[in-house]
Amino acid sequence: MRGLFRSDEGGQSLIEFALVLPLLLLIITGLFDVARATWQENTLAYAAREGTRYAIVHGSASVDGTVVYASNQQPVIDVVRNAAVGVPTVSVTVTWLDSGCYDRNCRVQVDATAPFVPIPSQYLLGNAFQLTLRGGSLLVIQR
């Protein structure tokens, strides 16, 4: 068996492994990033849904005609940020689509966004590649 290999082929497998390893690591981290992005986007969608549910349940019951529109957004934003566990830097937009209407049958839309940076971009490219993940919900005030 030893006679089949020439003496100058001893490090060939090591060289081939060194050439294939970066590609293999990039594929593996890519799979982890796809799973992580999917999880974070599902978490944002859940958090936006929770914020919208809070807004429709507390719609006309907690607001009278003198309450300022912007002051009614903060409790909804807090609910969304608390529900988005594990997602850093969540930006929340709360919109009452019917011109600030808080009464029954008025619509509330909550959008939650967060930046997502893949692992190779974090360590190799200095966060050069960044995606924005989004979750949103639109419901009607029921009470």
pLDDT digits (tens, 9 = 90+) for 63-121: 454 454 555 788 999 999 999 999 989 999 998 888 767 778 888 999 999 999 888 77
The C-alpha atoms of residue 42 and residue 86 are separated, in whole angstroms, by 11
Examine residue 73 and state whether it is found in any structural domain, yes or no: yes
Examine residue 4 and state whether it is found in any structural domain, yes or no: no
Examine residue 1 and state whether it is found in any structural domain, yes or no: no
CB 42 within 8 A of CB 126: no
Q: Any idea which residue has 């912007």 for tokens?
A: 70
pLDDT digits (tens, 9 = 90+) for 46-73: 999 999 999 888 765 444 544 545 557 8
Torsion angles phi and psi, residue 5, rounded to 5? -100, 135
Examine residue 18 and state whether it is found in any structural domain, yes or no: yes
pLDDT at 128: 73
Examine residue 5 and state whether it is found in any structural domain, yes or no: no
Examine residue 132 and state whether it is found in any structural domain, yes or no: yes
When pLDDT is cut at 50, 70 and 90, the band that residue 5 belongs to is low
pLDDT at 64: 52
The C-alpha atoms of residue 14 and residue 138 are separated, in whole angstroms, by 57
pLDDT digits (tens, 9 = 90+) for 6-47: 666 667 888 888 999 999 988 998 899 999 999 999 999 999
Examine residue 124 and state whether it is found in any structural domain, yes or no: yes
Q: What percent of the chain has pLDDT over 70?
A: 82
Residue range(s) defining the domain that contains residue 86 = 10-140
The C-alpha atoms of residue 54 and residue 9 are separated, in whole angstroms, by 69
pLDDT at 65: 47
142 vs 48 pLDDT, higher one: 48
Domain total for the chain? 1
Examine residue 81 and state whether it is found in any structural domain, yes or no: yes
